Structure 1
Amino acid sequence: MTANPNTLSLLDAARAISDGTLSSETLLQSCLDRISDREDSVGAWMQIDRDGATSLAKHPVPGPLSGIPIGIKDLIDTVDMPTGYGSPIYTGHRPAQDAACVSIIRNAGGIVLGKTVSTEFAYFQPGKTANPHDLNRTPGGSSSGSAAAVADCHVPAALGTQTAGSIIRPASFCGVVGYKPSYGYLPLTGIRPLAPSMDHLGVLTRTVKDAGFLASLLGRRPELDIRSSSNDWVPKIGFCQTPQWDHADTTTQSLLTNAVEKLGKSGANIRDINLSASFAALADAHGLAMDYEVSFTGLFDVTNHPDQVSAKFRERFDAGQQVSSRDYDDALGQAQRSRAELRNAMNTCDVLICPSAPGEAPLGLNATGDPVFNRIWTFAGVPCINVPGLTGPNNMPVGVQVIGRFGDDARVLQAAAWIQDHLV
């Protein structure tokens, strides 16, 4: 067994605990030691329940996650710890019950170690978290703390949410796997809404198989657990530069192009895929619809606590109030049509790949980066996975985004696992 159990993947840790070569107490202490060493610099956590976790680790609940510490984004309700939604308005707020996903983790034997930092209401105002690979750079958002905690080996897995690019982008910036399932695949009960028609629960882990395993438990979707999938299957991959390709820096464009060439040499059937012109406007439609829904979900906070809402949130809230219901309905219709159009565009391939973000994590902690490469897929509600493995000019992670048809998550996970194995 490794001298540093905190570096184990979720499945490796679960296997070691199950076969008796690792105790939950040893794993937890290794994670807590790492947090003690790094948290003052990284700032991934809003709260850590050391005493509660230590008590549970002594006699973990039996189950597939027995004795595994997991981080919970501070947008997700926990009955035994405050849930602040990334806002000073909710400092010390104690929900009446756990979110469904938290209850599932506890019932499966997982140990809820603490609450990870979220941007304000999962929108654009960043929290305190820094990128563990370079403390002068953003970890991305809004699942900032979850991505940083997994990347820095504080926990083997954490929960995140995505409404624009809040799982995929921080996963890319921090060099971990981020999985946003098809819309509606995982339960949102007990999660603060931002834009309900496009809110997703997802996971951050260090391997694709870890992500599928955890998601299979959260959604009671056994097909997402791809551990028994054939190792002989090789995906047909569509290289999709997307209408946003020019937003990627030249280094990222080269890295993706070279990665495609490498995957082809490894046996993948590669072809170029071009999206229809309607996808060029889909990112703007997503932003419009998101602002419109925020003007409802944020109404109480802006009305009753105007001085405790950030200028960034107020700006998007005000923009949303100017959106007409007709334009909003048109945007939703555009998203529905894009899902069908994407299925047709992918008739010769299993998955698409494109950038997860424009490049490496930007310098500075006052913003979380541009979700330009995430908006169209989130609005269409299709499954997306960030696969780490590329490195930019500043020695920072750069991810590959793997996208699939709506509801075809198992195939997307299988393809992403294959890509992860052959990308390095």
Structure 2
Amino acid sequence: MEPFRLTATEALAKIKDGSLSVEAYARSLLSRIEQRDDAVKAWAHLDPEYVIQQAKQLDLVPPEKRGPLHGVAIAVKDIMYTKDMPTQHNSPIYEGHDPTLDAAAIATLRHAGALLIGKATTTEFASTATGPKTLNPHDPTRTPGGSSSGSAAAVADFQVPLGLGTQTGGSTIRPGSFNGIFAFKPTWGAISREGLKFYSLNLDTIGFFARSVADLELLSDMFNLEDDDARPDFAIRGAKFAVLKTSVWPQAGPGTVAALEAGARLLRDGGADVEEIELPPEFDRVVEWHRTVLHSDGRPTFLPEYRVAKEKLDPFIADHVENGQKISRAAQLEAFDGLAALRPRIDEIAKKYAAILTPSVVDEAPKGTQSTGSPAFNCMWTALHTPVVNVPGFQGGNGMPIGLSLVAPRYHDRHLLIVSKAVGDIFAAEGGWKSKV
């Protein structure tokens, strides 16, 4: 197997046992990127010489001083400060901008020995629905999703094993589904957001992309994601799952309808107790409240850019500052307080199950790159601050990947990853989706 096809966990094992140098690994990844960059366009900034320089320095580190991620390659969403690479937010306002410090997440990964490959593309300030230049590696006529477009596409295309994204609406889970890979949005606030460009203080969450749950667990270790009680001996047989369509179910396309039915059936066939549930009527306002919080938080977030260079801002972002939605302060408070009251309630509901199985996307990745697709099925979980994993395994009518989401109570992140590993094995074996890239 070519080194670029290794998962992060596999590459780490080979680097540890001396059968693969970091430089050889880096050169394999760069060769893959060179071969595929015209077709995928996942990178906002990539300097091969800098990558090799990092790799050579990592190879010189004595084994006893190497970090737990020594040599593992990672793509970084281009809204996170990196002291040795530009951070441009896909905005003409920040073109060529070179910060002099690392975001907290980047400092953590660099200290662990990670190999930072480059800055991955994003929509403007990770906020607009208009796609960047990036294309879906499984079909270049379709979007990879957004706003974490490049990170997801690069992982799916075997250009890197790991990618960092963020989620304010559906920016991690949706591209995970569209690209046929695992995506993890941890509990809100579990990972420091210092040093990244905020969109919504109340919603933004750093997330991960990988081709295996073991790799998601590897990154979770780096950020000290811990539950009060995570049981590693989970088995599908005898476990209890909820199937939840949510209030936006009428938007589901045929691919998602079929995937949710198949996912529930596969869990039942595996010996699980699967129960379809509905949330109390109060939850019907979550999507509306999410939108209110999003637009309200965007007002102060983008005020500096608006004042300095309004003409260079996407109209969607300028509209936040101008309060084009005419959101009153009373409506803001109702949304803030309404969501805060519902979060412990969803925790109590979710605690009754190993996980809640629910859609990740409306359907397959849509054609074109003008839109990154609808986050309709993601906004609820972002607003409620719960951890979510996109589990790949299904496909739509055009042969494109469709994943399903697993949801757990807040701060049950490690439990959710354990469950996702078992569910992912079943979906991969019998769901029907196989990557051809």
The match for 1:11 is 9
Q: 1:166 aligns with which of 171, 175, 181?
A: 171
Instruction: Give, in angstroms, the shift of residue 174 of structure 1.
Output: 0.7
The match for 1:181 is 186
Instruction: Give, in angstroms, the shift of residue 7 of structure 1.
Output: 1.2
Q: Distance in 2 between matches of 1:349 and 1:178?
A: 21
Q: Read off the aligned partner of 2:15 and give its amino acid letter.
A: I
**Which stretch has the larger CA shift, 273-282 or 336-345?**
336-345
Q: Distance in 2 between matches of 1:231 and 1:286?
A: 33
User: Any idea what the Cα deviations from partners look like across 1:72-131, whole Å, max 9, x if unmatched?
Assistant: 000000011110012111001111200011111111111111000011011123211111
Pair 320,415 (structure 1): closer, same or farther in 2 beyond 3 Å: farther
Verify the 8 A CA contact 1:288 1:320 in the aligned structure 2: no
Verify the 8 A CA contact 1:176 1:387 in the aligned structure 2: yes
CA RMSD of aligned residues (A): 1.8
Instruction: Give, in angstroms, the shift of residue 233 of structure 1.
Output: 6.2
Q: Distance in 2 between matches of 1:275 and 1:373?
A: 14
For the residue of structure 1 that corresponds to 2:202, the secondary structure is coil
Q: Distance in 1 between matches of 2:219 and 2:396?
A: 29
Q: 1:76 aligns with which of 38, 56, 80?
A: 80
Instruction: Give, in angstroms, the shift of residue 387 of structure 1.
Output: 0.7
Q: Distance in 2 between matches of 1:23 and 1:392?
A: 40
Instruction: Give, in angstroms, the shift of residue 302 of structure 1.
Output: 1.7
Q: Distance in 1 between matches of 2:217 and 2:323?
A: 37
User: Any idea what the Cα deviations from partners look like across 1:383-424, whole Å, max 9, x if unmatched?
Assistant: 001011111111101011111101111111111111101112
Q: Read off the aligned partner of 1:212 and give its amino acid letter.
A: E
Q: 2:106 aligns with which of 80, 102, 106?
A: 102
Q: Read off the aligned partner of 1:204 and give its amino acid letter.
A: F
Q: 1:86 aligns with which of 76, 86, 90?
A: 90
Pair 364,144 (structure 1): closer, same or farther in 2 beyond 3 Å: same
Q: 1:282 aligns with which of 275, 286, 302?
A: 286
Are residue 137 (structure 1) and residue 142 (structure 2) matched?
yes
Q: 1:399 aligns with which of 403, 415, 430?
A: 403
**Which stretch has the larger CA shift, 382-391 or 231-240?**
231-240
Q: Read off the aligned partner of 1:166 and give its amino acid letter.
A: S
For the residue of structure 2 that corresponds to 1:305, the secondary structure is helix
Pair 378,178 (structure 1): closer, same or farther in 2 beyond 3 Å: same
For the residue of structure 1 that corresponds to 2:416, the secondary structure is helix
Instruction: Give, in angstroms, the shift of residue 229 of structure 1.
Output: 2.6
Verify the 8 A CA contact 2:241 2:353 in the aligned structure 1: yes
Q: Read off the aligned partner of 1:159 and give its amino acid letter.
A: L
TM-score, normalised via structure 2 length: 0.93
For the residue of structure 2 that corresponds to 1:354, the secondary structure is strand
Unaligned 5+ segments in structure 2 are: 429-437
Q: Distance in 1 between matches of 2:313 and 2:361?
A: 27
Percent sequence identity is 35
Verify the 8 A CA contact 2:235 2:422 in the aligned structure 1: no
Instruction: Give, in angstroms, the shift of residue 347 of structure 1.
Output: 4.4
Q: Read off the aligned partner of 2:3 and give its amino acid letter.
A: P
Q: 1:244 aligns with which of 242, 248, 261?
A: 248
4+ long deviations beyond 6 Å = none
* Correspondence list, 1:12-27, <5 A: 12-27=10-25
Q: Read off the aligned partner of 2:233 and give its amino acid letter.
A: S
Q: Read off the aligned partner of 1:248 and give its amino acid letter.
A: A
* Correspondence list, 1:157-306, <5 A: 157-217=162-222, 219-221=223-225, 229-230=232-233, 232=235, 234=237, 235-306=239-310
Aligned residue pairs: how many?
420
Q: Distance in 2 between matches of 1:215 and 1:187?
A: 13
Q: 1:126 aligns with which of 126, 131, 153?
A: 131
User: Any idea what the Cα deviations from partners look like across 1:111-154, whole Å, max 9, x if unmatched?
Assistant: 11100001101112321111111111011100000000000011
The match for 1:149 is 154
Are residue 63 (structure 1) and residue 61 (structure 2) matched?
no
Q: Distance in 1 between matches of 2:378 and 2:255?
A: 19
Verify the 8 A CA contact 2:363 2:402 in the aligned structure 1: yes
